[in-house]
Amino acid sequence: KPSWATFSTITGSLTGTPTNDDIGTTSGIVISVADAANATVSLAAFTITVSNTNDAPVITGTPATTVAEDTAYSFTPIVSDVDVGDTQSFS
């Protein structure tokens, strides 16, 4: 099973919510069921692929809201983005 999922041996359900860290493929997943006489049957092996979705960047910082005349003002916010390789532009 994928590392981000849980499997119920009572219901047979495979559940979970993958995150950005789970992008990729898990293959060879097999779910089987057995009865009291130990007769077993399985689903065909299947694959789950977690695809990337664009996550919005996060911007933080506290700009000064006053500045004295004839004094330079500067504020640079901090930005982070969990999507590797994304570039940001400010407006």
pLDDT per residue as tens digits for the range 26-73:
999 999 999 999 999 999 999 999 999 999 999 999 999 999 999 999
How many degrees, rounded to 5, is the angle at CA 39 between CA 37 and CA 41? Answer: 155
Find the angle CA(50)-CA(55)-CA(58) to the nearest 5 degrees: 150
Structure confidence at residue 91 (pLDDT)? 94
Nearest to 50 by CA among 21, 29, 30, 15: 21
Work out the pLDDT band at 84, boundaries 50, 70, 90.
confident
